[in-house]
Homo-oligomer: A and B are copies of this chain.
């Protein structure tokens, strides 16, 4: 068993600096950021997400809409139907102060994540001497 052993102390989770503990959810901070620029809605945000999306060709609509809903549940954004303008009604989202705070927290987490990747790439480069 691990209890009381040094491994227990050594390999136990402690509090994570990132709000949720999951740095992999890159869509969330991006959506928060876009909404910090101006109110918007899912379909439009999908296109904006495109510029950050490095693992998929196009962002997944399911992820976008579900993330927005979950952010709203957490009171990080608020939405209302927008029937003005052309096309079908849009659910228009706005960032709340809580959402802005979450964005700032994400920025911190992303900074440290970037540093980790840089560290990896530096070691990698050092070992495999890429010559241009």
Q: Which of B33, B116, B121 contacts A26 (CB 8 A)?
A: B116
B113-A54 in contact (CB<8A): yes
Of the 9-residue stretches A56-64, A69-77, A78-86, A87-95, which lies at the interface with chain B? A56-64
CB neighbours (8 Å) of A1 from chain B are none
Q: Quick one: closest B residue to A61, CB to CB?
A: B11
Interface residues of A, dominant DSSP: helix
User: Residues of A within 8 Å of B, CB-based: how many?
Assistant: 50
Using CB atoms and an 8 Å cutoff, list the residues of chain A in contact with chain B: 7, 10-14, 16, 18, 21-24, 26, 29-30, 33, 36-37, 46, 51-61, 103-104, 107, 109-121, 123-124, 127-128
